Amino acid sequence: MNTNNKKIQLKGLTLPELEEYFVSIGEPKFRGRQVFNWMYNHLAADFSEMGNISKELRQKLSANCELQTLNLVTTQNSPSTGTKKYLFATHDERKIESVVIPEKERNTLCISTQVGCPLDCKFCATGLMGYKRNLSVGEVVDQYLLTAKEHGKKNITNIVYMGMGEPFLNYETTLKSVEIFTHELTKGLSRLRITISTAGIAPRIKDLADCGVRVKLAFSLHSGFEDIRSMIMPINKKYSLKENLEALKYYAKKTKTRITFEYTMLKDINDRNEDIKALTKICSSIPSKINIIPFNSIKHMAPEGISSKLEPTSLTEIHQFADKLRNNNITVMIRETQGDDIAAACGQLAVKIN
């Protein structure tokens, strides 16, 4: 029983945790399965919807537990692409964003793992807004449940951990949310449709390889040179490119999967001929492909210092760069920019932190 008046948040609990909770309040273990199914499969927002649970127990749960972690504040639609940005408020009045990106045969949900981000990558708006805290499992999961409710669960086909924050600095939470999204009872997504993107927390890359959870891994490379990477991504001073590449090699070997290298093209910084050489060397030693992202403007954040000087490589030059890599037998994709008209494209998510 809950004695201190603070309600227990059930949203975000994994199946074993829910089962343990029900046993602890003197209920049979299978209630955990039932509530799991209601929350994550049927997207129930209230205990009253849980038809196979007695009225008495539902009342008891309402009195002691909570079911929702986020409140929808606003949504914004991109008229040109159909991309939709969601602004959510947390219980402590923090704001986070998620984005649903419609593509030809899929709809991808881009979710956040932190309020802001501590990494301070010079090209990213989220970095410029600062960092407040990690999200809870419930807050990560609710971004899916609340957007799935609006779009229809079947219409969210992919999840990418590419919103605000660094998933590997909120590692346990990220893994628990994957466990919930991919659980057979959730009838949700296959692990192959989930991508975790990291700026390079090398020890966690190895941990992910070792823990047996199989998802797709994307690595924000952005430069094949230590000094340039350290300049635009200060986290590189703590976990060097070398250390990360070793971890990625280990990951690719252990999981027998290909790494996706994300590469945001910055004029005169990472679009030179020597960058092609460096990328070719890296990609030849690790099973991988490159995903080139045109640099999305962060001018809405009124950046200072290096951030204010960054310019995009032109689309023509991006295509030439990609072709040169392809000539070296590297698989290259160029990501279409989606949602920059509503500041919902890669690296544009940012909310004023109080």
Q: Which residues of the chain form contacts with ligand SAH (CB under 6 A)? A: 123-124, 162, 166, 197-199, 220, 262, 264, 293, 295-296, 298, 346-347
CA dihedral 39, 169, 197, 172 (to 10 degrees): -40
267 to each of 79, 293, 323, how far by Cα in Å? Answer: 29, 13, 17
Whether 346 is catalytic is yes
Residues with Cβ < 8 Å from 279, sequence gap 6 or more? Answer: 221, 224, 261, 263, 290, 325, 330
**How many Å apart are CA 175 and CA 56, to the nearest integer?**
34
Residue closer to ligand SAH by CB (options 67, 111) is 111
Residue closer to ligand SAH by CB (options 14, 107) is 107
User: Measured from the CB of residue 346, what is the shortest distance to ligand SAH in angstroms?
Assistant: 4
Residues 97, 139, 166, 262: which is the catalytic one?
A: 97
Residue closer to ligand SAH by CB (options 14, 288) is 288
Residues 65, 117, 124, 346: which is the catalytic one?
A: 346
Residue closer to ligand SAH by CB (options 187, 309) is 309
User: Measured from the CB of residue 276, what is the shortest distance to ligand SAH in angstroms?
Assistant: 19
Q: What is the DSSP letter of 234?
A: G
Would you call 158 helix, strand, or coil by DSSP? strand
HSE-up of 260 (CA within 13 Å, CB side)?
19
Whether 97 is catalytic is yes
Q: Which residue is closest to ligand SAH by CB?
A: 347
**How many Å apart are CA 121 and CA 220, to the nearest integer?**
11
Task: Indicate which residues carry an active-site annotation.
Answer: 97, 346
